[in-house]
Structure 1
Amino acid sequence: MSWNRRRVLGAAVGAPLGLRVGAAMGADDRGETPRAVSVAELAKVAAAPVLRAEELPAPVTIAAMELLRNGREFLVRVRDRDGVEGMSATNSMHMVYLHPIFVGRIAPFFAGKDARQLEDLLWELYRHADNYKYQGLALWVCVAAAEIAVLDLLGKKAGKPAGELLGGVKRREIAVYTASGTRGNTPEEELADLKKLVAESGAKALKFRLGGRMRRDSADSRPGRSEALIPMVREAFGPDMTLYADSNSSYDAEEAIRIGRIMEKYQYAFYEEPCHFDDLEATRAVAEALAIPVALGEQESSEAGFRRMIAMRAADIVQPDLHYYGGFIRSLRVARMAAAAGMPCTPHMSGSGLGYLDAAHFASLLDNPVPFTEYKGNSAIPISSPTSSLKPEGGIVRIPTGPGFGITIDPAYLHEARPVRAS
Structure 2
Amino acid sequence: MKVTEIRGHHVGFVPDPAIGNARTMIRRRDFLLLEIVTDTGMRGWGEVFSSPDAAAALIRHRYAPAVLGQSPARYRAIWERLAANQGYDRRGPSMMAISAIDMALCDLAAQERGISVSALLGGGLRERVFSYGSGPFITEASDPYGHYAAEVEAALKLGYRAIKPRAGVSPRADGEMLAAMRRQVGPEIGLMVDINQAYSARAAIDAAKRMEASDLLWIEEPVEPEDIPGYAAVASAVTTAVAGGEALASIAAFRDFLAAGTMSILQPDLTVCGGYTGFMRIAALAAAYDLPIMPHVFGTIVNHQAALQVAALLPPRRGGGPAPYPYVEADISTNPLLALQGAVKPNADGTLTIPDLPGTGLDLDADRLEPWRRESWICR
Task: Check whether TM > 0.5.
Answer: yes
Return the match for 1:151 from 88, 91, 106: 106
Per-residue deviation at 1:338?
0.7
Aligned equivalent of 2:364: 409
1: CA distance, partners of 2:6 / 2:266: 32
The 5-angstrom pairing of residues 336-351 of structure 1 reads 336-351=284-299
What is the identity percentage for the equivalent residue pairs of Structure 1 and Structure 2? 25
Per-residue deviation at 1:315?
1.1
Aligned equivalent of 1:132: 87
User: Structure 1's 61 and 411: CA in aligned 2 closer, same or farther, altered over 3 A?
Assistant: closer
1:122 aligned onto 2:79: yes
Per-residue deviation at 1:133?
3.0
TM-score normalized by the length of structure 1: 0.74
Q: How many residues align?
A: 347
Q: Deviations over 1:117-160 (max 9, x none)?
A: 211321211233xx333333422332222111111110111111
Output the aligned Cα RMSD. 2.7
Q: Deviations over 1:2-36 (max 9, x none)?
A: xxxxxxxxxxxxxxxxxxxxxxxxxxxxxxxxxxx
Larger radius of gyration: 1
Structure 1 residue runs without a partner (length 5+): 1-59, 213-219
TM-score normalized by the length of structure 2: 0.82
Aligned equivalent of 1:217: none
Aligned equivalent of 2:249: 301
2: CA distance, partners of 1:192 / 1:414: 31
1: CA distance, partners of 2:366 / 2:206: 52
Q: Deviations over 1:183-210 (max 9, x none)?
A: 255222222222223323x110010111
Q: Deviations over 1:264-290 (max 9, x none)?
A: 211111111112221112212221222
The 8 Å contact of residues 177 and 207 in structure 1, kept in 2 or not, is answered as yes
The 5-angstrom pairing of residues 211-226 of structure 1 reads 211=168, 220=170, 224-226=172-174
1:392 aligned onto 2:349: no
In structure 2, the residue corresponding to 1:77 is in which secondary structure? strand
Aligned equivalent of 1:366: 314
The 8 Å contact of residues 260 and 271 in structure 1, kept in 2 or not, is answered as yes
In structure 2, the residue corresponding to 1:268 is in which secondary structure? coil
The 5-angstrom pairing of residues 13-412 of structure 1 reads 60-68=1-9, 74-81=32-39, 83-91=40-48, 94-96=51-53, 98-128=55-85, 131-180=86-135, 182-184=137-139, 185=141, 186=143, 187-200=145-158, 202-211=159-168, 220=170, 224-368=172-316, 370-377=325-332, 379-380=336-337, 391-394=345-348, 395-410=350-365
Per-residue deviation at 1:344?
0.6
2: CA distance, partners of 1:391 / 1:267: 25
1: CA distance, partners of 2:136 / 2:80: 33
2: CA distance, partners of 1:147 / 1:169: 19
For 1:279, the aligned partner's letter is D
1: CA distance, partners of 2:136 / 2:57: 28
In structure 2, the residue corresponding to 1:156 is in which secondary structure? helix
Structure 2 residue runs without a partner (length 5+): 14-30, 318-324
2: CA distance, partners of 1:138 / 1:288: 32
2: CA distance, partners of 1:135 / 1:407: 30
In structure 2, the residue corresponding to 1:420 is in which secondary structure? strand
For 1:100, the aligned partner's letter is A
Mean CA deviation greater in 406-415 or 167-176: 406-415
1: CA distance, partners of 2:209 / 2:240: 8
2: CA distance, partners of 1:303 / 1:70: 29
Per-residue deviation at 1:379?
4.8
2: CA distance, partners of 1:107 / 1:266: 49
